[in-house]
Amino acid sequence: MSHPVPLPPVRFVFGVHLHQPVGNFHHVFAAHARDVYRPLLAQLERRRLGPALLHISGPLLEWIEEHDHQLVDQLGKLAADGAVEFLLAGMYEPILAAIPRPDRVEQIAWLRQALQARFGIAGDGLWLTERVWEPELSADLAAAGIRYALVDDRHFLVTGFRRDQLHVPYRTESDGQPLTLLAIDERLRYLIPFRPPEEMADYLRALHAARQPLAVFADDGEKFGGWPGTREWVYDRGWFDQFCDMLDRLRDEGVVRLCSGREALDEVPCGGIAYLPTASYREMEGWALPPDAANRLLALEAELGTERIAGPDGALVRGAHWRNFLAKYAESNRMQKKMFALSTLCRQRGNPPVARRAVGRAQCNDALWHGVFGGLYLPHLRAGVWSQLAIAERELRQGEPIAAETLDINGDGSDEVWVHSAHFSAIIAPARGGALEEYTRFDTGRNHADTLTRRLEAYHLSRPGHAGTPAHDGTASIHDLEAALVFDAQPPVDLDDRAIGVPRIIAGHLAADAYAAAAYQPVASFARTRCAARVEVADDAVIVHCEAPGFTVDWRIAADGEVHARYTWDAGALPEGARFAPELSLAYPLALDAPGARDVWRYEIATTAKSERGIERVRQGEAVTPLFDAATGEAAFSLR
């Protein structure tokens, strides 16, 4: 009598990504180490969840080495026992597609060196930061010694693959350099840890019955206790132990076998060739859209219906790519383009180690975009990037006299004037009415112009969604919590992007509170006036003369960084009582001297935005506006 041949088990890859960004607060690192990382690693060891994939971001790795020797010992024991396979990435968690190509290889090498120095081993698989993929990455990853990378299954689905085709490795290449891709299963990402383990078991049994050889789970480790509500669910209410019990049962049944990424590559036959488009995860592509387009996408998804969006057609309904954040937010673009400029300068000057590391830290992605987490909206994260850029530029400009360059540093199609010395770096934008977009002091590491424009966001207009899964049946994911956010009123929206010295003429009857709320129309605005620029360089100062019909501004910046501005404008036909109002948006205080000003208005620049904790009001800086009689046709101020 013949017996049925038992089905081979599904090889189950379990991976977590532990991450904290450059510039985050010490107490946030410490709280996550206590509440998330130590308990998670203890479970990996105690409940035989190895071989697990584990990625640790460079900023977190450096912090635990300095502050948490217990966590270092836990990691060392797991590595020595072969319980984890370390994943590589850029050391300081850059979006690899958004940094110079040589820097991509170098960033990966840094993390490999750090892991080998601390634990004696480093992997050859890659955690792709924010799962942002671009086709030419294959060549750079291969050059960095990467054998395989984890990408979202969505990256395949938008190419036309079916879900049932994604349980095998695929091969891709660029410039003839090969790379293997493993698709992260979205279904598992939404089940683990938010739903009861029985639902995960049902899904894995279905894969087993369908003879699927591979299932890959890889996601943020912070969801195991760091996201709102997850600590109680995962640990206090026993989800993690139930999850491990269920995995033990599935292993005993022959349904699954835990394996590493390397084992998956060696044991599961390749599915063939795949060429993936630029892509990220679904929510990221929606966040990258402008507000109106984001809400049109939501309306389209609602019209198509939940069932169709969850099906194969849903992947073809897409938002924008990650790089669109650089077009959506000028502040993000300025950080990223300044990093590019300094990375190039650093290589031209022999790559001094201090400057190169600072450029690498400034490539951390978190401050460059905004989704459900605060990101760009958090001043301390932007300050972390600007501080590293200041360190790099200070190292590269030691002993330099004051100088100026005219170039399109931010890539917007209009030239800026970059004024710099051994003490400071400043960027003037003639195409923005001569506004000062950056003013970084090397002695403090602060960019005084690093405020954030109050913008209209899609979620200011969207209808409220529904709260997360009932507590007795699971816990809400971060996206469930996001959908439940409700804004009682639309926050203020600025008339123009913020900078130091945004020039406008306002009516004499305009009240200070209406001005602060941007609830007015200026009599005249030069904020978007395209000026011709002329630059004069002397031994002790640079003068940048910006001129347009009926308007001029002269900036005089001394070698030590002291700033003087002088404006002229056509005062004819202005209404009686009109005031010239150059708005100075300051992230950090500067002493203002404004002779002839009738008054100085000040208000707090605050944004109201979503975060993982809900709706947050965050101070971004202070707006300081000296008011001059517009009938005089001239005004001046100094900043020290």
- What pLDDT, in 10s, does the model give residues 168-180? 999 999 999 999 9
C-alpha count within 13 angstroms, C-beta hemisphere, residue 284: 22
> Is residue 460 in some structural domain?
no
Residue 229 has pLDDT above 80, yes or no: yes
Percent of the chain with pLDDT over 70: 96
Is the peptide bond between 51 and the residue preceding it cis, with omega within 30 degrees of 0?
yes
Query: How far is the CA of 396 from the CAs of 217, 340, 344, 352, in angstroms?
Result: 43, 14, 11, 8
| Mean per-residue pLDDT, 286-314 | 93
Domain enclosing residue 259, as ranges: 10-276
**What confidence category does residue 489 fall into, taking pLDDT thresholds of 50, 70 and 90?**
confident
| Mean per-residue pLDDT, 261-281 | 97
Query: How far is the CA of 352 from the CAs of 342, 347, 446, in angstroms?
Result: 12, 8, 22
Outline where DSSP puts E strands in 373-434. Answer: 403-407, 416-420, 424-429
Q: What is the pLDDT of residue 1?
A: 52
Of 276, 297, 321, the residue that ends a domain is 276
Pairing between β-strand 10-18 and β-strand 52-56 as defined by DSSP bridges: parallel
pLDDT digits (tens, 9 = 90+) for 379-429: 999 999 999 999 999 999 999 999 999 999 999 999 999 999 999 999 999
Distance CA 517, CA 512 (A): 9
Query: How far is the CA of 192 from the CAs of 17, 50, 221, 294, 348, in angstroms?
Result: 14, 17, 11, 27, 47
> Is residue 351 in some structural domain?
no
Of 260, 276, 292, the residue that ends a domain is 276
pLDDT digits (tens, 9 = 90+) for 522-578: 999 999 999 999 999 998 999 999 999 999 999 999 999 999 999 999 999 999 999
> Is residue 522 in some structural domain?
yes
pLDDT digits (tens, 9 = 90+) for 14-65: 999 999 999 999 999 999 999 999 999 999 999 888 899 999 999 999 999 9
Q: What is the pLDDT of residue 475?
A: 74
> Is residue 466 in some structural domain?
no
**Residue entry with tokens 């501004």:** 553
pLDDT digits (tens, 9 = 90+) for 427-483: 999 999 999 999 999 999 999 999 999 999 998 886 544 444 444 577 766 666 666
Mean pLDDT, the chain, integer: 94
Distance CA 362, CA 390 (A): 10
Co-location of 407 and 259 in the same domain: no
Q: Which residues are the active-site residues?
A: 130, 220
Q: What is the pLDDT of residue 74?
A: 95
Bigger pLDDT: 2 vs 53: 53
Residue 356 has pLDDT above 60, yes or no: yes
CATH code, 427: 2.70.98.10
Distance CA 402, CA 389 (A): 18
Q: Identify the burial level of 534 via C-beta atoms within 10 angstroms of its C-beta, where 0-12 means exposed, 13-18 middle and 19 or more buried.
A: middle
Q: What is the pLDDT of residue 49?
A: 85
Co-location of 256 and 405 in the same domain: no
Number of domains in the chain: 2
Q: What is the pLDDT of residue 471?
A: 47
Q: What is the pLDDT of residue 18?
A: 97
| Mean per-residue pLDDT, 97-113 | 98
CATH code, 249: 3.20.110.20
Contact criterion met (CB below 8 Å) for 320 and 283: no
Altogether, the residues listed in the chain come to a count of: 640
> Is residue 505 in some structural domain?
yes
Q: What is the pLDDT of residue 470?
A: 45
Distance CA 321, CA 152 (A): 14
